[in-house]
Amino acid sequence: MAYFLYNVLLHIAAALLLPYFLIKMATASKYREGIPERFGFVDKRKLRALRKGKVVWVHAVSVGETKAVLPVLRILKRRRPDVKILFSTVTATGNRTAAQEGRGLIDALIYFPLDLPWSIRKVASAAKPSLFVVVEKEIWPNAFRTMRSLGAPVAIVNGTISDKSARGYARFGFLFRDVFSKVNAFLARTDDDMEKAISIGVPAAAAELTGNLKFDLSPSLMDRHFVANLKEAIGVRPGSTLIAAGSTHPGEEEIVLSSYKALSAEFSGLKLIIAPRHPERFNDVEALLRKSGVAYARRSKGGSADVVLLDSIGELMTVYSLSDIAIVGGSLVPGIGGHNLLEPAYFGKPVIYGSHLTTYMGMAELLEKNGGGVRVSGQKELTDALKGFLSDEVLKKRTGALARGVVEENRGASERTANALEKLLRR
């Protein structure tokens, strides 16, 4: 009865939202990508590479989740060459990241079908997965139910459940207790995540603490010519100091820009790169820069200026490696919850972020406890934090080294996760 009600509401919601998405499809290309696949119509030629092997279907919603799970898949395929990876994402940027960074690792790449029973079953019946893996918070009732009915174990890796989500799952326990009871392995980031998972229906025997995959960050080897070209393109030269503001959202660019303008008169050679989280905002951010009166350049159009808009995909990690100080967006304004603080930490950079953290609060607290991160509230605190690092080279280097230390001391989740997935494949 619970699934019947869920599916009725899901189909009604799909019908009501159809006009909205038709408008979006007409105005934004990202909404047009993968439309047939989202309804379960996958080109058979894509799935040919899955033949003659055990298929593991891995689902990651977007960029961060994709990057987090790729090291696990490398380990798994090294140990089990017979495994074929079907990889799905929801977002276009996640799909592009999987295509670029999963080359030679992912055997078939698709967009995840809507959680309609017929669309999920259509793809699952064609792919015949031996294991279904979702990353972090992707809880889809029909997908879980279908996989179990087809005999494929369900695993949640890098599992995390916020307090808000736990309350929501408990409120609709008539559905979600059954959904979570179908999970064969909940591989949790933290003890707290594991306890919450058990409280909402995951079998205690299926819950295991494996740690946070994002500490096992391992960027692709950077081509030195590419790095040198990017360095030249964004104007990094001897004597300059680069602040990288990554994954920014509306309202954050104004805060960062105000701090930069306040400091640029005092610190010569100061440069700023702003990398908006979503590509569709590139033009909006350019309009903001133009209005602010600062001299700027767009990465895609060449030229050089003290402020650069990084309107490209896949270059933020390299920019972090070239930066002196990093600001991680999604945290300076409410409603987003933050983004991965470990990307700049991996390169030994001081990490600054805002106070509006939810998903990444544990990561922030760990950085702060070890002296590798600084949390700020508002533009004045951001300016003060930046000024502190710009005025004290020793502090800047020490904070960056401590941030890198946090990454190194917490590695190993990928290996533990791969071990757990191997056990499920042997069933």
pLDDT at 339 (0 to 100): 94
Residue of 354, 374, 352, 386 lying closest to 260 (CA atoms): 386
Strand order of the β-sheet with 373-376 is 296-298, 307-309, 270-276, 241-248, 325-328, 351-354, 373-376
pLDDT at 136 (0 to 100): 94
In angstroms, the CA 210 to CA 190 distance is 8
Q: Would you list the DSSP string of 338-360?
A: ---THHHHHTT--EEEES-BSTT
In which residue ranges of the chain is pLDDT below 70? 20-22, 24-32, 220-223
Collapse the DSSP code of 136 into the 3-class scheme (helix H, G, I; strand E, B; otherwise coil) and give the result: coil
Collapse the DSSP code of 376 into the 3-class scheme (helix H, G, I; strand E, B; otherwise coil) and give the result: strand
Q: How many helices (H) and strands (E) does the chain have?
A: 19, 14
pLDDT at 3 (0 to 100): 87
Residue of 59, 31, 28, 63 lying closest to 247 (CA atoms): 63
Give the tens place of pLDDT for each residue, 57-72: 999 998 889 999 999 9
pLDDT at 222 (0 to 100): 66
> Which CATH number is 27-211+412-425's, of 3.20.20.150, 3.40.50.10420, 3.40.50.11720, 3.90.280.10?
3.40.50.11720
52 backbone φψ class: left, alpha, beta (φ>0; ψ -120 to 50) = left
Strand order of the β-sheet with 83-89 is 108-111, 83-89, 54-59, 131-135, 154-159, 185-188, 207-209
User: Do 65 and 135 touch, CB atoms closer than 8 A?
Assistant: yes
320 backbone φψ class: left, alpha, beta (φ>0; ψ -120 to 50) = alpha
Phi (first) and psi of residue 225, to 5 degrees: -70, -40
Element (H, E) at 108: strand 108-111
> Which CATH number is 224-409's, of 3.40.50.2000, 1.10.1670.10, 3.10.310.10, 3.40.50.1370?
3.40.50.2000
User: Do 326 and 349 touch, CB atoms closer than 8 A?
Assistant: yes
Q: List the structure tokens of 239.
A: 């004597």
pLDDT at 200 (0 to 100): 95
pLDDT at 32 (0 to 100): 67
User: Do 299 and 315 touch, CB atoms closer than 8 A?
Assistant: yes
In angstroms, the CA 318 to CA 315 distance is 5
Q: List the structure tokens of 358.
A: 């939810």
Its pTM stands at 0.85
Q: List the structure tokens of 255.
A: 């805060």
Collapse the DSSP code of 116 into the 3-class scheme (helix H, G, I; strand E, B; otherwise coil) and give the result: coil
pLDDT at 140 (0 to 100): 94
pLDDT at 27 (0 to 100): 64
Give the tens place of pLDDT for each residue, 89-141: 999 889 999 999 999 999 999 999 999 999 999 999 999 999 999 999 889 99
Would the CATH topology of 27-211+412-425 be identical to that of 224-409? yes
pLDDT at 50 (0 to 100): 94
> What is the residue extent of each domain of the chain?
27-211+412-425, 224-409
In angstroms, the CA 133 to CA 58 distance is 5
